[in-house]
Structure 1
């Protein structure tokens, strides 16, 4: 449903842009562009609405209606959830793995291990010979 409304919204946006660009410029925006230098470009109280102007209003109203519809659909889809909750739940759940024991390294010497795990013997270790 949301995709259909979104496609209609995009089509309406393109149609609205096209219709606005097809209309004839009235010229009088901020007093510029009238070209005749006189007051002939001033709008009268009642102007006849052209077909393009009516079509612009129709497209604009439909565009606003689809905008509101998309907002309502997005609000219903995300009701009760937060972006922080969605991100926080996924980053907090790291897999609990135990590191593999590497037997290739010698056990630390000294008082780092409890006496039951101390691998040292009473005999002094002989240093390796340098050949």
Structure 2
């Protein structure tokens, strides 16, 4: 189901990009001219592309929410992967770092007298 919805979302996204790119930046639609009335006039094309954009955008958002829900439902029930703990055990820090201070690396250098 997840793969099917991903394919549908990819198709919707590509259609959305095509519909948006067909519109003029002024909102004129295809702008091919023709009669001022009718379905494929400049005004009719703009209305059609605007409606198509709104419908495709709504479908895209709904599919995105559905895919996110499916992903959480699928992945949310898994346990954490503890395979790395067997390879390199984690060293835990002491509860109180001042209770067991680390030994000094060596003697401190002697101070040089001021001249």
Range into which the TM-score falls when normalised by the shorter chain: 0.5 to 0.7
In the alignment, which residue of structure 1 is the partner of 2:63? 66
CA RMSD of superposed structures (Å)? 2.2
RCO greater where, 1 or 2, for CA within 8 Å and sep 6 or more? 1
Q: Which runs of 4+ in 1 moved over 3 A?
A: none
2:47 to 42, 46, 50: 50
d(CA) in 2 for partners of 1:80, 1:62: 28
d(CA) in 1 for partners of 2:14, 2:63: 14
Question: TM-score if structure 1 supplies the norm length?
Answer: 0.49
1:77 aligns with 2:70: no
Q: Which runs of 5+ in 1 are unaligned?
A: 28-46, 95-131
In the alignment, which residue of structure 1 is the partner of 2:13? 13
In the alignment, which residue of structure 2 is the partner of 1:3? 3
How many residue pairs get aligned? The number is: 71
d(CA) in 1 for partners of 2:77, 2:17: 37
d(CA) in 1 for partners of 2:55, 2:19: 11
Q: Which runs of 5+ in 2 are unaligned?
A: 28-42, 88-115
Question: TM-score if structure 2 supplies the norm length?
Answer: 0.55
- Name the SS of the counterpart of 2:24 in structure 1: coil
